[in-house]
Structure 1
Amino acid sequence: MPHIDPEELSLLALYGAWLDEEGQRHLNSCDACSAEYAALRRAVDAMKTTPDSTSFEVPGPNVWSGIHRELGLSDATRADPLGPATGSATGSAAGSATGTETSKAGHTDPPEPGHPPAPPTDIRSVKKRPLGWQRRGTWLAVAAAGALVIAGGTLWNLNQAATPLARAELSPLAQHTATGSATVLESADGSRNLEVKLSKDEAQGYQEVWLIGTDLKRLISLGIMSSDSGTFPLPSDLNLDDFPIVDVSDEPLDGNPGHSSVSIVRGSLSS
């Protein structure tokens, strides 16, 4: 199957829920998707840190500027959330001026008629929370969201860039009924992968994926397939014209790295 949609990976990282069994199998066998998922999980786990367990260093304004630019946020959020708070100096000055006028007069003015004074508040009932952590939490939330967007965008580009080069229909061999397909995909960076999908796993031992030469003597092992699908990187200097046959074998646990001579499915690649 193609790589998992970035939105599905983000939801899986956030909520841990998975509804697609085929997607779960792909995640277990695909190095690219599992790496992206691990990065998203790290971003989510960072947001679960409590203020009592970790101390943070305040990042410089250039960090927020980069996040603001990457996410394309509006001018209303251009100011660094961890920068100097506006209005605090004004409030302090106003409070000082009021306090001066009160001390000069020696008393406070009585409330105007028709406006009873507000009831007193027990200061002990007010739970204080440091403003710095509130602002830091806001900054971290936006930073984590940015990480999810950027990581998801990277995987989206990976999906879009993969180009199919060749495909093989895999047919069952003696005493087997499984069928499947093998597709060679080329990424934007020129790397190639072989994606193998079978209708079921019929191995008595374990499945191993091979490329076989046209002479039916030369073999290249691509790796073990632990489920009914898998993705395997191809050597950069491999000429598929010399090794066009895709073979999935049933290998016993005997310690012999060679082919068991028991093939489950086989097919030839064609572009």
Structure 2
Amino acid sequence: MMADSSHHLTDQQLAEIAVEGSTADPRDMEHLAECAPCRAGVADLRRVTGLLSEPVEILAPPDSLWSRVEDSMRESTAERASAPRANGRHAARRRKATWGAALAGLAVGTLLGGAAVTATSNLRDTPDQAPTSSLVTVGTADLEPIGGTTLHGEAVMERDQEGNLTLNVDVSELADDGYLEVWLRDENATRLVSLGAVTSRSTTVDVPEGLDLDEFPVVDVSHEHFDGDPTHSSETLLAGTMESKGA
């Protein structure tokens, strides 16, 4: 006995077939085998459920999600109850208009299953959710040339969320021989703390934990040589006092 294709499956039946496959009601599966419009509807829904299964960042749903889903399903149910039956292309267009409710139901099921993904992915585009930087600038220093050099540079000190400090040093060029080293020192250059070599035009180095920056306010960039001596060469090329940003 051939299935009656003059009356199409409901949106709920199409959604169940898209999710459950061959385990859905055998009578619905028999109708599906004879009805091209219903098969097309299942194919569309399966494309959506495929997107739901893709791994993406899980975001918390907004408080208004459930009320929007319920309102959509109530409106769809009321429209189907009040609308006259239609055949052919008119019925197909009506189903497309009401598939939104079925898709909403699928989204709810996905949320309840632990994959709260697609239903809330649009939150990424919310204007008031702009990403914030985890680094805070706490000080800057203009590095002025010392001893007639043509170099220039800038230093920026930043603090991360754990309170760790880093110093980014940007110089206009590197040394032709030897290397550049960055230090924090006092105003009189009698006490110095090495932070490391400047290996590129923009280098980030760690600031030792517990270092009193009030006692070492000056950023010093020296010209060092591969002589095995870890102390300052006394050849300062750039220097500048760190100005606090009040962070």
TM-score by length of 1: 0.44
Q: Higher relative CO (CA 8 A, sep ≥ 6), structure 1 or 2?
A: 1
